[in-house]
Homo-oligomer: A and B are copies of this chain.
Amino acid sequence: MFFASDNTGPTHPAVLQAVIEASDGYALPYGNDPWAARAQALVREVFEAPDASVHLAITGTGANSMIMGAMAPPWSAIFCHEMAHILIDEANGPQMYSGGASFAPVPGAGGKMSADGLRAILDRYAPGDVHTPARGPISLTNITEAGTAYSLSEIEEIAALGAKAGLAVHLDGARFSNACAALGCTAAELTWKSGVTAATFGGTKNGCMSVEAAVFFDPAYDAAFLRNRMRGGHLLSKHRILSAQMVAYLTDGLWLTLGAQANAAGRYLADGIRAHVEFVDEPAGNLMFVRFPRALHRKLHAAGAQFNSFADVGTGPDDEPIVARFVCDWSATPENTDRFVDLLKAG
């Protein structure tokens, strides 16, 4: 009953096999390995972007922070949702890599920045006055931190607002494949065809050991990213370990297959628990937030179910509904979920 995160599961066998093979023999370091070029080519192919700049990083926080470091000058503000991972969960990494950019949090229901919310905040950061931080990039997360998904038209609307103001758009795709699977769209549609300038393309939460790709559809940010990757200690000498994972992940559409699997597992779980919990938002993929009574949280944890409770489980009224987060990864099985749902139903 592992629903704590999609980073707690096993490495997919095909990815592991690639790492095993790449661990043997000699290869030049720092991205000069033969797998590196193959990984870059595959990312470009998947994104239908032959000119994209593609670089690998070891973590999602690293990739996001280094992309922000390349896109956001130190005197600028990054526009993101007020629950964005880069704002709340990356320990000021974007600040460090950018040399001091700030955030301009944008409100919006369901974990999604609203166009009206963005307009209002953009007004607050009107250009032309050296006192106010300059307008920096807009960053969206898809699948969002609330488990919902921006539709392509929602991304387009925000990107159009950005374009009008001369701002680039970043997509935090820690759950990129889940978003594509949920929306039934291509990687290109989720990004540059909708106006996105750069994306974090996540592998770690979807069967990889630990690898993310930074994908830039505008070459302007390339040099700064590469310098920051080295400064941050993210350029692996044995870079082939990263390359090999990405090659396996992109071969034969594995990335999308696994994302669809995880989403299906998420749907199966959601359907199983729907009658017994209150959904904070209707989940789009493999991640969901629901409310149910504290006493039940306690019971499920005691039974060995792994999930996050966003309140003190130990103290407080037994029947007060508190929020839980459940995540399914590609390896989740119906049996595991059934067992959990049965426990939950038993109340």
Known: A5-B29, A29-B8, A99-B100. Is A238-B226 also a contact (CB below 8 A)?
no
Closest residue of B by beta carbon distance from A233: B62
Partner of A231, one of B7, B63, B74: B74
Which residues in B have their C-beta under 8 angstroms from that of A54? none
Binary CB contact string for chain A from 1 to 13 against chain B (1 if under 8 A, 0 otherwise): 0101101111100
B91 touches A61 (CB 8 A): no
Which residues in B have their C-beta under 8 angstroms from that of A75? 91-92, 227-228, 230-231
Partner of A209, one of B61, B100, B134, B241: B241
Partner of A92, one of B59, B61, B100, B236: B100
A132 touches B89 (CB 8 A): yes
B88 touches A132 (CB 8 A): yes
Known: A58-B236, A132-B88. Is A95-B93 also a contact (CB below 8 A)?
no
**Integer count of this chain's copies in the complex:** 4
Known: A11-B23, A59-B234, A62-B233. Is A102-B89 also a contact (CB below 8 A)?
no
Task: Tell me the count of chain A residues lying within 8 A, CB to CB, of chain B.
Answer: 77
Which residues in B have their C-beta under 8 angstroms from that of A23? 10-11, 16, 209
* Residue A96, interface by CB 8 Å: yes
Q: What CA separation (Å) do A75 and B97 show in the bound complex?
A: 11
Partner of A93, one of B19, B73, B233, B237: B233
* Residue A296, interface by CB 8 Å: no
Which residues in B have their C-beta under 8 angstroms from that of A209? 19, 23, 238, 241
Partner of A232, one of B105, B226, B232: B232
* Residue A65, interface by CB 8 Å: yes
Most chain B beta-carbon neighbours within 10 Å: one of A26, A57, A228, A233:
A233
Which residues in B have their C-beta under 8 angstroms from that of A154? none
Partner of A233, one of B5, B7, B66: B66
* Residue A158, interface by CB 8 Å: no
B91 touches A101 (CB 8 A): no
* Residue A299, interface by CB 8 Å: no
* Residue A164, interface by CB 8 Å: no
* Residue A47, interface by CB 8 Å: no
Which residues in B have their C-beta under 8 angstroms from that of A7? 29, 237-238
* Residue A111, interface by CB 8 Å: no
Closest residue of B by beta carbon distance from A15: B23
Which residues in B have their C-beta under 8 angstroms from that of A346? none
Which residues in B have their C-beta under 8 angstroms from that of A26? 2, 8-10, 306
In the complex, besides A74-B231, A99-B100, 11 extra interface pairs with C-beta distance below 8 angstroms are: A7-B29, A9-B26, A11-B24, A88-B133, A92-B101, A93-B233, A95-B95, A96-B96, A96-B97, A96-B232, A210-B237
- Interfacial residues, chain A to chain B (CB-CB below 8 A): 2, 4-5, 7-11, 16, 19-20, 23-30, 57-66, 73-77, 87-93, 95-97, 99-103, 105, 124-125, 130-134, 204-205, 209-210, 224, 226-238, 241, 306
Give 5 pairs: A residue, B residue, CB < 8 Å, sorted on A: A8-B27, A73-B224, A74-B96, A77-B92, A91-B227
